[in-house]
Structure 1
């Protein structure tokens, strides 16, 4: 439940920001659809970034704060997270995103209906970038016909985020305090959204798949088949990209406590010998201190006499 709640906290404000941005339009008759507000990529990036920070703050102490199937898999690969828990975590994460999409549809249902009707009248479908369905999940721009470029972009955006997350989880990293981790990870997402959201990115299997299911429920199965099945990129690329990023960090960047200690002097009899040695030193120090105290007290008595 903590994983599902955390993903909800992360996705809900983000897609709400996308919603206000998408609905700030007018129909063919010049009537305003939904809410007349200013929106943009900056607004969306901030909403997702703070959503991630709030998700970690509220739920990470219970579940560890994965909120991303790729992170759960990487923690199992590199950090000993139990593989038997991986399916439960992934299901919970997808469910949290699904619920965020469903609740948003309830909040903005009249406005989204108006946008959907306008899309059908002008384009014939709501499943395109800028359509009502794009409030929930990512669709590529009209000019993005080469999926190779989209794959390349998605891979390295997700890898960038993955390296930052792994750096935040490194206990030997002196530049990230535990209290700053939620905002550091949130800012990493914000940075990538500001740079690449206008060019189609997903960044998270659960965030995309959960809300894409909602899009399919309300706008049809084209949510998965649009643009020759683009959805496989937005759903799946996050996993190999994050494995690549965390492997890169583990093999080339990690300076763990174990590695810091390598090459340092060790007692010939190991830890137990070191403990016995320190015990003897402490005992000797106590004996010496006791002798000095008794000598000082005796001299003090002699001087007073």
Structure 2
């Protein structure tokens, strides 16, 4: 298997399990209906673990453009391979979303709320506030890439690493996911959103394209920032990088305070 195919399959598996658990919880007459946020975050976390187990030895199981670009930014992945990985991830996410649609086929018609149908495919904010929504995706993906690199620096019993990362994704969802649904992955949001737009889903409504740029731009920014922070603080021990990061956090807090006071 080639790395390109590996990224397609890995990202497809991620969406089959991640989108699948959202569908199970939100769509009407599913046996998992109303399972709640803990069920959704568990499904995503374990879906990530399965995807890494499946293709980690083939492609490194980036399954996320933010991870791919972040690793390239610190020299851990060749830039020449980035376009192919991004394309594979988008294709895999689209295919995964189509599989979820087929799996839950009779449930779409039974579900009247188009917002619930859209939520199976992609994210949207709990409160619409563009600066805060962007900041949530940046922070969430910053923690994602920083955590993945930090976990990778430790020695685990053979075969345990993917499960640890899956539990880490669960932690991100529980702690930071309540604001925007924690896309933290441009392909995870854009691929299924395209599927929602193209598929003949009964009573689906719009695909909310006006929001679609945030779960793409935010994770890319956060992924690069998280990788650079890890490299310069954890590896190089740079006090300057720590200072810049603290100033960035203070700036985010200041912007958030002004926005909430407006």
Shorter-chain TM-score tier? 0.7 to 0.9
8 Å CA contact 1:34, 1:112 repeated in 2: no
Q: What does 1:107-256 align with in structure 2 at a 5 Å threshold? A: 107-115=103-111, 118-119=112-113, 126=114, 128=115, 131-141=116-126, 144-170=127-153, 173-174=154-155, 176=156, 179-200=159-180, 201-218=182-199, 222-225=206-209, 229-254=210-235
8 Å CA contact 1:216, 1:224 repeated in 2: no
TM-score by length of 1: 0.70
**Across the two proteins, how many residue pairs are aligned to each other?**
229
TM-score by length of 2: 0.81
* Deviation string, structure 1 residues 39-98 (Cα, Å, up to 9, x no partner): 111111111111111111110101111111111112222234222211111100111110
Q: Which aligned segments of 4 or more residues in structure 1 are displaced greater than 6 angstroms?
A: none
* Larger RCO, structure (CA 8 Å, separation 6 or more): 2
Establish whether residue 4 from structure 1 lines up as the match of residue 8 from structure 2: yes
- Cα RMSD, aligned residues only: 2.1
Which secondary structure does the structure 2 equivalent of 1:245 belong to?
A: helix
Structure 1 regions of 5+ residues with no counterpart? 25-32, 120-125, 257-305
Which secondary structure does the structure 2 equivalent of 1:155 belong to?
A: helix
* Deviation string, structure 1 residues 190-214 (Cα, Å, up to 9, x no partner): 1111123332221101111111101
8 Å CA contact 1:34, 1:114 repeated in 2: no
8 Å CA contact 2:186, 2:216 repeated in 1: yes
Structure 2 regions of 5+ residues with no counterpart? 238-262
Given the alignment, which residue of 20, 41, 46 partners 1:16? 20
